[in-house]
Structure 1
Amino acid sequence: MVRRDHLERAVLESLWGNPDGLTAPEVVDLLADRHLALTTVHTVLDRLRAKDMVVRERDGRVFRHRATRDREEMTADAMLAVLADSADHTLALSMFVRSVSPADAEAIRKALGGRRV
């Protein structure tokens, strides 16, 4: 059984790779190695729409779906959600920053406007 979040992620990956959007049959074709039914893809797209992660627009007789946010925005959202679960944000951030690579630490410094981390 494929986990729902893995399937949602695969569909989002397909959409991120096609910024003009995809129809459900096009998603099925792109994920052909998963042997998904069209109804399954429709269900996943509907769930993603309910989460405001996907929008759909009519394109003739079909709907074209697009991701509402890019991969990096969703990664940042996931990181913030995990931090929100922490009882001690300062400790969690401290442990995170100490565990990143020097290159990532430099990227964090730049993102903070040069402030020392």
Structure 2
Amino acid sequence: MPRLGKLEAAVMDVLWSADGALTVRDVLEKMPPQRNLAYTTVMTVLSNLHRKGMVVREPAGRAYNYRPTVSREGAAAASLREILDAADDPRSVLLYFAETASEEESTVLRDGLARRDSLS
């Protein structure tokens, strides 16, 4: 999964928070006003996200409707996978994470591993 720049991440946040597909205008209207973005800037970001495979677009008249191809959770998990794959010692990274995880996070991890093991 490609890394996202700050503006790409902000646009993806808008798409992930939406109930359905959005046009460029819809995304622009939902962006924080302090960003003060041009329509063409948002259009370029969405085109880049489409090229990267992060969004699909469907014709909607003379425009496109955009929707994410991956969930927020899926994107976060892919980023973690990328970090582990790039690490010289992924085992140490995982162990460090486990040592710093909260009790709730530890429980979630244990439950997830148990569920995975039961499917095998």
Same-fold call, TM cutoff 0.5? yes
CA–CA distance in 2 between the matches of 1:20 and 1:78? 24
Structure 1 runs, 4 residues or longer, greater than 3 Å off: none
Residue 58 of structure 1 is matched in structure 2 by 59
> Which aligned pairs between 1:15-30 and structure 2 lie closer than 5 A?
15-30=15-30
Q: Tell me how far 1:87 sits from its aligned partner.
A: 0.4
CA–CA distance in 2 between the matches of 1:112 and 1:7? 34
1:39-90 per-residue CA deviation (whole Å, 9 max, x = no partner) reads 1001100111111000100122221000101100000001111111110111
Aligned partner of residue 5 in structure 2, secondary structure = helix
CA–CA distance in 2 between the matches of 1:40 and 1:62? 15
CA–CA distance in 1 between the matches of 2:32 and 2:82? 32
Q: Tell me how far 1:91 sits from its aligned partner.
A: 1.0
Over the aligned positions, Cα root-mean-square deviation in angstroms equals 1.5
CA–CA distance in 2 between the matches of 1:52 and 1:93? 28
CA–CA distance in 1 between the matches of 2:41 and 2:108? 39
1:3-62 per-residue CA deviation (whole Å, 9 max, x = no partner) reads x71110110011111141110011111115111011100110011111100010012222
Residue 72 of structure 2 is matched in structure 1 by 71
Q: Give the unaligned 5+ runs of structure 1.
A: none
Aligned partner of residue 48 in structure 2, secondary structure = helix
Whichever residue aligns with residue 26 of structure 2, its letter is E
Length-normalised TM-score, structure 1: 0.89
Residue 39 of structure 2 is matched in structure 1 by 38
Query: Matched residue pairs, number?
Result: 112
- Ranked by relative contact order (alpha carbons within 8 Å, sequence separation 6 or more), the top structure is 2
Length-normalised TM-score, structure 2: 0.87
> Which aligned pairs between 1:74-93 and structure 2 lie closer than 5 A?
74-93=75-94
Q: Give the unaligned 5+ runs of structure 2.
A: none
Asked if 2 retains the 8 angstrom alpha-carbon contact of 1:19 and 1:66, the reply is no
Quick check: which one's helix share is greater?
A: 2
